[in-house]
Structure 1
Amino acid sequence: MTDFDLIKLRDFILAKTGIYIDDDKLFKIYKRKFEDFIQKQGFDDFSSFYNRLVFKKDEHLLQELINLTTVNETYFFREAYQFKTLVEEVLSELDGLRPPHESINILTAPSSSGEELYSIAIYIMEYAKEIFYKRDFVLVGIDIDSVMIQKARQGIFNQRSVSKIPPHLLQKYFIKEGNQYKIIDEIRKGLTFKVVNVMDFYAMKKLGRFDVIFSRNMLIYFDEKTRKEILATFHALLKPHGYLFLGHAEKVPVEMEIFKRVKKGESIIYQKA
């Protein structure tokens, strides 16, 4: 691949996903990744690959390219203080606001291989029992990476993924199978995972309305314009007084007055204004 080819492919990925690959990563990491990918897909040169991808709109090829590009770094109970805020502060508030027959809906975007959404489910079942047993919960995880979504649906994890889970909860909610840990069906079958691009506003709207959205450590991969577009989409998906949880290094720009910044417990989170 020439430098021009690399930049052209990067721009295409940016347009499709909103993910920007900086020059350093593009030439030091992704150049080899893309070259290997094109060869493994059976193309003799970049132009034939690009033609199939862009002009013939090969959806399978596009999905495989997206899967190659995305970053998936997660584990159970990551930044657990936010889950504590959810069960100790946010859920009790929402329980008082929502009609008794209404479910509490929670979205994780992106969900990667599912550890975050499963962590939320465990926290609710363990530490918000009163609300859990009197209300329905709808828990949905989305990701642009189809491989990660398939892993999330299977609910099978390695030792590293579960290393932060206290032993008593690991024994309670997982079945050990060799060196792997499978989450119990009671939880796995109650969660929904879908392949959705957060940049696709209409696909996002089809997901429904949510009381809480977790989007941690995703916005850092986008430019400022794209971040604001995604935040506006989250705002549209949130029910009145709903909450948005971001990663510790992320924030809603102060000029976006559609959210108000609030401190609950140990967490800084954002409420729909």
Structure 2
Amino acid sequence: MINSDENITKIINFIKEKTGIDINQDKFKKFYAKKIEQIIKEENYNNFPGLYSDLISNKNPDLIQKIINTVTINETYFFREEEHFRIMVKNIIPELMKIRPQGETINILSAPCSSGEEVYSILIHLLENPHLIRERDFMIIGIDINTSALEIAKKGIYTKGSMRAVPPHLVSKYFIKEKNFYRIKNSLQEFVSFENVNVRDKYSMKRLGKFDIIFSRNMFIYFDEHSRKETIATFYSMLKPEGYLILGHTERIPETSEMFVKQKHKNSIIYKKR
């Protein structure tokens, strides 16, 4: 049904508009075409015009979500690019504590959070610096467009691959081993929350509130330029004054941007709201 170049282009453009993810035709055919064809078959569509009409009119949200879950990338693990977490607890949060009113909660957003490893990595680094917890309350929210990934995050059960960068003493401290899996302790799950939110949906994003720190790592490498600029502007509007945006090691905000001040910390670059 979607094997013609014209139909594939329409599906690719729909995905780009909905998620910001830019997929070329060769990649689509190689990695996603068969999976999406199977989804279409399961949803009982027998012609492309009917399928496409339901996509662009949002008539079948379940179909749209299944396609989104298929094309979104969820490869991650605990303590990935760990230097960012160290910068957070040693530099960013102490600075924020000085400028935020006494008693004000420090809000941290992980967008996208995938299957939750980043959210729990943030929390573990805070717990390993108890003086921060004693002085302030923290709110940590993870959001993602992929509902399958969020189910894993909410359950808090992970494979050995997700644990590969966690030191053994922290594994035993914060996880319970269950056969070939590792379950985050229930006491940690109470400190975080997860929501199904699309970063391209400005209204839903702003409904989350204002944040002191936004982690958004390794998402923009999949975005087209327009989606990247729009999402950076959304993050900017959601950050409190002098809040921080943390991107992946390979991602950069253009030097010409007047929204953020670039800060260099050893091997990492982070961005402070002007």
TM range (shorter): over 0.9
Distance apart, 1:17 and its partner CA = 1.4
Tell whether the 8 Å contact from 1:85 to 1:266 is kept in structure 2 after alignment: no
- Which runs of no fewer than 5 residues in structure 1 stay unpaired? none
Distance apart, 1:265 and its partner CA = 4.7
Structural mapping, 1:243-258, within 5 Å: 243-258=244-259
Distance 1:64 1:97 in 2: 44
SS in 2 for 1:211: strand
Tell whether the 8 Å contact from 2:39 to 2:63 is kept in structure 1 after alignment: no
Tell whether the 8 Å contact from 1:38 to 1:46 is kept in structure 2 after alignment: no
Distance 1:93 1:56 in 2: 44
- For 1:43, the equivalent position in structure 2 comes to 45
Distance 2:124 2:33 in 1: 40
- For 2:148, the equivalent position in structure 1 comes to 147
Distance 2:27 2:160 in 1: 29
Correspondence 1:98 to 2:85:
no
Whichever residue aligns with residue 239 of structure 2, its letter is L
Distance 1:55 1:96 in 2: 49
Tell whether the 8 Å contact from 2:8 to 2:25 is kept in structure 1 after alignment: no
Identity %: 47
Whichever residue aligns with residue 12 of structure 1, its letter is F
Tell whether the 8 Å contact from 2:115 to 2:149 is kept in structure 1 after alignment: yes
Could you say if the C-alpha distance between residues 196 and 80 of structure 1 is closer, same or farther in structure 2, counting changes exceeding 3 Å?
same
- For 1:84, the equivalent position in structure 2 comes to 86
Q: What are the superposed Cα offsets for residues 150-199 of structure 1, whole Å, 9 maximum, x if unpaired? A: 11111110111012110110000001111111101111121010000111
Whichever residue aligns with residue 45 of structure 1, its letter is N
Distance 1:77 1:132 in 2: 20
SS in 2 for 1:169: helix
Tell whether the 8 Å contact from 2:260 to 2:272 is kept in structure 1 after alignment: yes
**Number of equivalenced pairs:** 272
Distance apart, 1:41 and its partner CA = 2.5
Distance 2:253 2:54 in 1: 38
Distance 2:93 2:178 in 1: 34
Distance 2:39 2:48 in 1: 11
- RMSD of aligned residue pairs (Cα, Å): 1.3
Distance 2:53 2:91 in 1: 52
Could you say if the C-alpha distance between residues 56 and 188 of structure 1 is closer, same or farther in structure 2, counting changes exceeding 3 Å?
closer
- Which runs of no fewer than 5 residues in structure 2 stay unpaired? none
SS in 1 for 2:73: coil
- For 2:127, the equivalent position in structure 1 comes to 125
Distance apart, 1:90 and its partner CA = 0.7
Correspondence 1:207 to 2:185:
no
Distance apart, 1:12 and its partner CA = 1.1
